[in-house]
Amino acid sequence: MSIFIIAEIGINHNGDIGIAKDLIKVAKEADCDAVKFQKRTVELVYSKELLDSPRESPWGTTQRAQKEALEFGLEEYSEIDRFCKEMEIEWFASAWDLESQKFLSQFDLKYNKVASAMLTYEPLLEMVASEKRHTFISTGMSTLEQIDRAVEIFRKAGCPFELMHCISTYPMDDEDANLNCIHTLRERYKCDVGYSGHEVGLAVSYAAAALGITSLERHITLGRAMYGSDQASSVEPMGLKSLVGAVRKIERAMGDGVISVLTKEVPISKKLRAHFHTDF
């Protein structure tokens, strides 16, 4: 089974549908399998105190102005849905509240995503699991006991899922990656395990691909110098093409683990062993 590669657009579109479309094109041209967004109901996710607090951004001087500017509504997501169908690439989103999940459910999506921050929000997990769409569950910031509970909810609902090993720092330091957790999750839960990376560069993602992950998610951007907290840990267009190409090469190189003599090796064996072999 090929690694399912997700280009996480998140909020790197900066509230601009044109940038969102450009990022979808980048993902398609790099041969990703899907793009992913994030959906929030600002008034439900953030307190009034935080929303009214000061924050300088291209859209104003408050947290509210910044956060509302980054949210797409029905018009934008309808256009994303249409454009992704045109581009022949899947899209889905991680909801950060119940209303946002209800909003997303109106689209005919194949996948759901539980963000690491939402893993302990059981009402949301139950709503997502009730839809029975294949769900990617990121495990950043979470204990085994918390992951146990999330897995229990999805198994009880009969909803297909896979876990995604994740470290929730932005950007993540390479020494914090702890990729052997991929084995730990696979052995504990007997399920598919992917990797959601926030590191700078591609090497850690290559290593994850060699560990047998079933999905790989990386944030993408048109340029890491753009406004936004996720841009620095995102992959630019050329890097995304390199990532996908290398992951596909790693998949082919891993093989089936069966030791045998390749047909291609036989004439070389005859040549290099000729001085001491008479029978091949």
User: Quick count: other Cβ atoms within 10 Å of Cβ 273?
Assistant: 11
**What would the mean pLDDT of 20-49 be, rounded to a whole number?**
98
| pLDDT tens, residue by residue, 82-128 | 999 999 999 999 999 999 999 999 999 999 999 999 999 999 999 99
The model carries a pTM of 0.95
How would you classify the pairing of strands 90-95 and 34-39?
A: parallel
Asked if residues 4 and 32 have their Cβ atoms less than 8 Å apart, the reply is no
CA distance 119 to 104: 18
The confidence band for 274, taking pLDDT boundaries of 50, 70 and 90, is very high
The confidence band for 156, taking pLDDT boundaries of 50, 70 and 90, is very high
CA distance 276 to 269: 11
Domain contains 171: yes
| pLDDT tens, residue by residue, 194-209 | 999 999 999 999 999 9
The b-or-e profile of 58-97 (16+ CB within 10 A means b, else e) is ebeebbbebbbbbbbeeebbeebeebbeebebbbbbbbbb
The confidence band for 166, taking pLDDT boundaries of 50, 70 and 90, is very high
| pLDDT tens, residue by residue, 43-74 | 999 999 999 999 999 999 999 999 999 999 99
Domain contains 109: yes
Is the peptide bond preceding residue 171 cis, with omega within 30 degrees of 0? Answer: yes
**What would the mean pLDDT of 131-154 be, rounded to a whole number?**
98
Domain contains 119: yes
Q: How many domains does the chain have?
A: 1
What CATH code is carried by the domain that includes residue 137? 3.20.20.70
Coil, strand or helix: which one is 35?
strand
**What would the mean pLDDT of 159-174 be, rounded to a whole number?**
97
Percent of the chain beyond pLDDT 70?
99
Domain contains 89: yes
Domain contains 280: no
Domain contains 211: yes
Host domain of residue 18: 4-272
Domain contains 279: no
Domain contains 194: yes
Residue 280 clears pLDDT 70, i.e. is over it: no
Asked if residues 157 and 122 have their Cβ atoms less than 8 Å apart, the reply is no
Mean pLDDT of the chain: 97
The confidence band for 278, taking pLDDT boundaries of 50, 70 and 90, is low
